[in-house]
Every structure is written in C-alpha cells, then in structure tokens.
Structure 1
Amino acid sequence: MPNIKLMENALPIAPLKIAALDSCKDLGQKVNDYIVQFRQQTLKESLDSPLFSSYQLDNYLVKCNCPRFGSGEAKGLISESIRGKDLFIMVDVCNYSLTYKVNGHLNHMSPDDHYQDLKRIISAANGKAHRLNVIMPFLYESRQHKRTKRESLDCALALQELIDMGVDNILTFDAHDPRVQNSIPLHGFDNFNPPYQFMKALLRAEPELIVDKEHLMIVSPDEGAMHRAVYFSNVLGVNMGMFYKRRDYSTIINGKNPIVAHEFLGDDIHGKDIIIIDDMISSGESMLDVARQIKERGASRVFVCTAFGLFTEGFDIFDDYYNKGYIDRVITTNLTYLPPVAYEKPYFVVADMSKFIALIIDALNHDISIGAVLNPTDKIHALLKKHNESLGI
C-alpha cells in the first residue's frame, strides 16, 4: 500500500464514513471491504486512544437512500448520525439500470436524476459532517466541458454548485477534459487515471504479451486522447501512433458532427500488438472503426482499454467485430454500471478499481499526500519487471 508508513504515523482527520448511493452500492461495498482489511492490518500502537475509537470498524458504510413519491419527486435520507464525520459520498451518474415511477409510468434514472440524488444526500447531511467529499467516477456532464457556440457549460456549473453546497473535495477518474477544474480553482479537485489497472488486467488476460517496441504499440483513437497515449507509451517504453477524425462540420447528428474518416499518423504497425486507449466507449462505433483500420494495416492483436464502458448501443456490434477478428480484448473499469451480459462476453475484461478507490479514501482520511496514488509510474514499472521475469526476458 502506498504511503503505509505515513498512514501509520498520521491521525485521521475525522472518523471515516462512506455514503454509497444506490447507483454505486456494489462498488461502495467493495471499497468498504478493502478499507476494513487495511485497518485491521494496521501497525498503529495507540489504537486504544480515544482518537482511534472509531478507527477499526467492521463497516464504514452509512445507510442512505432517496425514496420517491408517486409524482416522481424525491428526498434524501441518511439513517444515522454523520456529525463530525469525514464523509465520502459515492455516486455513479451513468447507472441507467435503476428505475422509479412517475404517475404509474416507469422511468430509468438519467445522469440528471443521479446528480439530484447526490445533492439530496448532501442536503440531508445538513452541514453536520466535518468534511464532505464527493467521489464521482464519471464526472457529471463532463462531455460538455467547453463552449463553442451559444451553449451551456453544464459541468462547470455543477462543480460550482457542489462547492456552494459545502463540498470540500471532488474526486473523479479520467475526466474528459480535466481543465474543467478551472471553474473551481481554489477548491479540491482530483482526477485519477487507471493505466496501472489496465496493464494489470491485460497482463492477467494475456500472460504471454511481450511489452517492447518490436512487439507492442499504443494508439490514440483521436487527438483528445493523445495525453493518455503519450503517458502510457512513455511508461511502457514503446512507440505510439494516433488517428485524427475528419468531421463534417456542416451537419449535426445526435448532438455532434458526424465523422467522415479516421486518418492514421504513426509508424508501421504490421505484426505488432496494439493497445487503443481512450476515456470512454459510448456507442463504440468510432473506437471499433479505428480497430478495424488497425487490423487492416496488419496488426497482430488489438486490445481496447477504456475507463468507462457505457455501451449505449449494446454489444451486438462488438460481438460482430470480435467474430470478424477486428478486436481481441475490450478492457474497461467497474467505475460505472456494467450490464450482467458484459461479463459473459469472451473478449470482455474488467479492471477492478475498488482497491484503488479505497487507497485514495484512506490516504485522504489521514490527510496525507496522495502523490503516490496519483502517479502510478513506479507501480507499472514493478508490474512489467515481474511480468518480464515470468517470461524469462
């Protein structure tokens, strides 16, 4: 565990509590179990001190929910005291599996509904928590992060609203554009990335993978994912390439300009394994078109790594591309809701993020540096060294 020595010598800022909303219950339970495990293994010598009276618990989860009235209106409810607690609220704004009734009609919860529930729980805390922290793996409205015409700036407004409600820290993962934090420059905003978890999951699924310039290459599917690909390729010590999207800016379809073609910039990829890295899969059409073109250029295997697997159009197109040999693995995290059918796919691999989140929460609760968690370079190097030793390289 990073910073374990610092944690053993640091006092928690306040007793820890985690409020996992219904949208994030499974992930919240896993995070809670890891924190329980961490603290049962602690080497602190003064646990009998009153300062540590609620340090080692069997459960840090707070009972909370947002019951709805028949009209569709709701209220936030916290079923136990959180006075003086360091409260972490977890919400998954992309969990479309939850439903509620409006005048007898069934509605699936949208990101707007989840965001409102988050505010309800913050309101139910009533300013009594010692500190409020929001863990929102997929940043609400983060795809609308800049203004190009007369448009709303939803993400920036949401961040400012949360700060105005008393939130101290906002934690997210692989934000579409982390510069949106400029809307709250004097408040806590941390953006974490999962490259270590990607490599760990990929090497577990493909134990014979050779990581060097002759056998592996990183590809960015567009210019927006360049910074992810540059970091990944530098840490792994391999080359990278990129596609850029030629769009038709004269028309708008489904809220965006349609892609006319993908153009590739980079070295020869013939015979190499390729990792395509991006922040999300929405419908998947753009990502899969890139994978098809890579295969047609002679790539050996294609692995898709993405933080958020939204799969808004289902899995049929992924099944088709897998059967045609265009993709070999799709690796995504469990930060957002994944339908049960995803786990049945032969190409699907989950990068579990629960331990990572538990480490972040534990470090912040002790009010110590999270630099080691923010920068996974050393962990990736250690993982590659162990992997190469197993291959005899």
Structure 2
Amino acid sequence: MKRIVLVSGTSNPKLSSDISKILDVPLVDPQVTKFANGETFCEIEQNVRGADVFIIQSTCAPVNDNLMELLIMIDALKRASAASITAVIPHYGYCRQDRKVSPRTPISAKLVSDLITVAGASRVITMDLHSGQVQGFFNIPFDNIYASPVLVGHIKRELVGDNTIFVSPDAGGVERARHYAKKCKCDIAMIDKRRTGKNVAKAMNIVGDVKGKDCIILDDMIDTAGTLIEACNALKENGAKSVVACATHPVFSGPAIERITKSDALSKVLVTNTIPLSKAAIDSGKIISVSVAEILAKSIHRTFNNDSVSSLFL
C-alpha cells in the first residue's frame, strides 16, 4: 500500500506546517543539527522504507546551508530505502546562473541540478523558476508550478480598478505580464532597462502609456530591490498615478527592505511565502504576503496519486 511522508527542512517551517495541515499528513522532523565545525547532520527518526517522501525545503538565505541540508536529507532518505524522494523546493536557489555570461564562469544551476539528482532525488517540484530552461538540466521528472492563481486572486480582489495596467520590468517578463493582464482584463506596458552589473540595472524607456494609471509591476523575485525602485521612479516620472509591485519570491537581500520602506514611488509590495519574511519586512508596513501552501499541497497530492499537476493551471 502506498504511503506518503512529509519531511520539513529548516528553511521555511511555517509553510511546511501549513502544507501538512492541508494534506492532513504529519510532518517528520529530520533532526537537523550541526557539528562544532559547521558540518550538517540529520537523522530521520521515522521508518520511511517503501514510502513516497516529499522534502519541503526552500534554498533561500543562507543558500549554501539550506542546499547542503537538502542534499543530506535526500541522501539519508535514500539510504533508509524510501520508494521515492521528491524535493519540493518552493524557491530554487542558483537559478539565475543558468548560462555562461562571460569566459571562465560556472553554470551553477546545472551543478546544483546534478547534486540534487546524484544525492538521490526522484523528482523535483518548484515554483516560478527564474529561468525555465533549468528544467532541462535534470534527467528526472521536474514540475515548475505557478503562483499566478494565488496572486491573481488577490490582485483581482484588492488591486484591480478601471485604470490598472500591468508592467513588465524587462522584455523577458512580458509573457508573465500578458498572462496576468488577460486574467484581469487590463492593458500592459514594459520597461526597457539596461543591466550595468550584478544586481544593477538602469530603466531607460517606458513602452506603453502609463500616464494617470495604477501600475502593477510583475516579476518572479525581488532581490536587492534596486531595479524595482528604479522602475517605480521611471513610472512616476512618466505620469503613473500609483505603483504596486508583485513578485513570487521575496529574496530581499542587503538594502532591499530599506529601499522599499523609504521609496515614495512604491506604495505596496505583494509577495508569496516561498521564502519567510524577516521581522524588518513584516514591520515595514508595505509588504503583504499571501500563502502558496494550498497550491503546493495540491501539487504534492496529485504527484502522490499520479494525477496531472499541469491541470491545476489550465
């Protein structure tokens, strides 16, 4: 008889707990600890022999610690004779390093995919990959699910009005903006930007009419928020009435929270809980988090029952 086991990593315990409650399946604590020299150790205290195991672990900051923890948990479960091991990675770290951008640089996204596969994962479930081609780095089944049903629902209820327009922060995000605009029956615009260095970009032109409009900037993640604030300022300078940002992954590195809090151009930021918010982010008053626990739980349940996952988004 098939048996499902949920294992919670340490990166996002609240999300793991919410998924556990929705599925009515108890969480297994992998007993992750560190030796004095910093090495990670875990011990699965429940019998998983012959079970279909789902490990819930975002590879968010500290990225290397959480990634290593994931690999060690997979190895422990493989050696405990689990029938299958699915790595549920709501936020997939290293995804931006998907190609060589200059000579003698690594393709770290490929390296991480090899590590996860060799560790013993049978399948990967993740959400809103920054680079869709990373799916091709794996030789095991890979499901890239979308946060759009959750975000669109909130946007329709709270943000969409007669003058709403969806804005893509760059050319690569136009398809995302078009998808949201179609669901909400709104127009789209695009910001032409130039990247001048790591985490540094300059907004050059606005493609589309944003004068007098309530703008919603869509992206898959917000890292240092430098690009986001630059985009908000450009929209305001072109006559936008208000600017709200929406992203799946609240990475919020370095000065991100300070930039968001101090920005007069940006009124609100809508994100999901693929990465837990820091106290500073919660206290900022501008950041709203919606839960993706239900859609991840449905994906886990359908995977376990060999049902279609893609039908969740059709």
1:169 paired with 2:123, answer yes
Shift of 1:203: 4.1
Question: Does the 8 Å CA contact 1:246/1:263 hold for their aligned counterparts?
Answer: no
1:350-369 Cα deviation digits (max 9, x unpaired): 12111111111111111111
Give the 5 Å matches for 1:103-252: 110-125=62-77, 126=79, 128-149=81-102, 150-184=104-138, 186-206=139-159, 209-210=160-161, 215-248=163-196, 252=197
1:302-352 Cα deviation digits (max 9, x unpaired): 12100111221242221211xx2x122200000012112322333221121
**What secondary structure does 2:34 align onto?**
coil
Point out the structure with the larger strand share: 2
Alignment match of 1:271 (pick from 206, 209, 212): 212
Shift of 1:221: 0.5
1:148-174 Cα deviation digits (max 9, x unpaired): 222111111211222223312111111
**What secondary structure does 2:228 align onto?**
helix
- Change over 3 Å in CA distance of 1:66–1:205 after alignment to 2: same
2:92 and 2:199 map into 1 onto residues whose CA distance is: 23
Give the 5 Å matches for 1:212-361: 215-248=163-196, 252=197, 256=198, 258-266=200-208, 268-312=209-253, 313-321=255-263, 324=264, 326-361=265-300
2:115 and 2:258 map into 1 onto residues whose CA distance is: 39
Q: Please tell me the residue identity of whatever aligns with 1:75.
A: F
Gaps of 5+ in 1: 1-12, 37-58, 97-109, 376-393
2:80 and 2:108 map into 1 onto residues whose CA distance is: 25
2:23 and 2:6 map into 1 onto residues whose CA distance is: 11
2:59 and 2:195 map into 1 onto residues whose CA distance is: 29
1:159 and 1:314 map into 2 onto residues whose CA distance is: 28
2:212 and 2:115 map into 1 onto residues whose CA distance is: 51
- 1:21 maps to 9
- Change over 3 Å in CA distance of 1:314–1:177 after alignment to 2: closer
- 1:7 maps to none
**What secondary structure does 1:219 align onto?**
strand
Taking structure 2 as the reference length, the TM-score comes to: 0.93
Structure 1 vs Structure 2 CA RMSD:
1.8
1:246 and 1:314 map into 2 onto residues whose CA distance is: 20
Shift of 1:240: 1.0
- Change over 3 Å in CA distance of 1:333–1:234 after alignment to 2: same
- 2:32 maps to 66
Shift of 1:237: 2.6
- Number of equivalences: 311
Gaps of 5+ in 2: none
- Change over 3 Å in CA distance of 1:34–1:225 after alignment to 2: same
Identity of aligned residues (%): 24
Q: Please tell me the residue identity of whatever aligns with 1:123.
A: D
1:31 paired with 2:19, answer yes
1:228 and 1:202 map into 2 onto residues whose CA distance is: 14
Greater RCO (Cα-Cα under 8 Å, separation 6 or more): 1
1:353 and 1:90 map into 2 onto residues whose CA distance is: 13
Question: Does the 8 Å CA contact 1:201/1:349 hold for their aligned counterparts?
Answer: no
